[in-house]
């Protein structure tokens, strides 16, 4: 999505590099996407194909790659690109977040977000100052 927005900015005003502040808000960090080894037993192939399809959906809906690419577009321009995306780091990976349609677990997501924002006070203030 950020690339589409930057494309629109470029189409309307000419050069996207004159953007003064670009803010994205994520829906939560997701655990790394891992695949098991290909099965040697033909009876395990359907389960592997299912896992492969689920991983494909996760990869296509994960915005972290887009975040890093967008961040690179603003490389060297400190205080222009801001990304806020809550998550809980456990061990060597991010803990699973709630499903976006799981409204009953929203209090958990609110608590995670509050904790995250408390660790980002300075960045939030700098972003808000840039936006003003």
Q: How confident is the model at residue 92 (pLDDT cuts 50, 70, 90)?
A: very high
Report if residue 88 sits inside a domain: yes
| Residue numbers of the domain that contains 29 | 2-33+68-131
Report if residue 115 sits inside a domain: yes
Most distant pair of Cα atoms in the chain: their distance: 61
Q: Is the pLDDT of residue 16 over 60?
A: no
- Residue 3 is predicted with a pLDDT of 65
Which residues neighbour 7 within 8 Å (Cβ) at sequence distance 6 or greater?
Answer: 16
Report if residue 38 sits inside a domain: no
The pTM score is 0.72
Report if residue 9 sits inside a domain: yes
At 96-120, the pLDDT tens digits run: 888 778 889 889 889 999 999 999 9
- Residue 79 is predicted with a pLDDT of 86
**Number of domains, the chain:** 1
Rounded CA-CA distance 15/26 in Å is: 26
What is the b/e burial string over 72-111, where b = at least 16 CB atoms within 10 angstroms of the residue's CB?
Answer: ebbeeeeebbbbebbbeeeeeebeebbeeeeeeeeeebee
Report if residue 80 sits inside a domain: yes
Report if residue 124 sits inside a domain: yes
Q: Taking residues 12-21, report their average pLDDT.
A: 69
């Amino acid at each position: 999505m950020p690339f589409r927005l930057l494309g629109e900015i470029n189409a309307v005003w000419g050069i996207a590099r004159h953007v003064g502040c670009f803010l994205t808000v994520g829906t939560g960090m997701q655990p790394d996407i891992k695949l098991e080894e290909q099965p040697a037993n033909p009876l395990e192939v359907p389960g592997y194909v299912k896992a492969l399809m689920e991983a494909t959906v996760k990869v296509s809906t994960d915005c972290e790659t887009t975040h890093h690419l967008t961040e690179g577009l603003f490389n060297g321009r400190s205080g222009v690109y801001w990304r806020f995306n809550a998550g809980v780091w456990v061990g060597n990976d991010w803990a699973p977040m709630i499903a976006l349609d799981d409204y009953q677990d929203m209090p958990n997501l609110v608590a995670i977000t509050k904790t995250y924002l408390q660790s980002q006070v300075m960045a939030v203030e700098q972003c808000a100052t840039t936006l003003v």
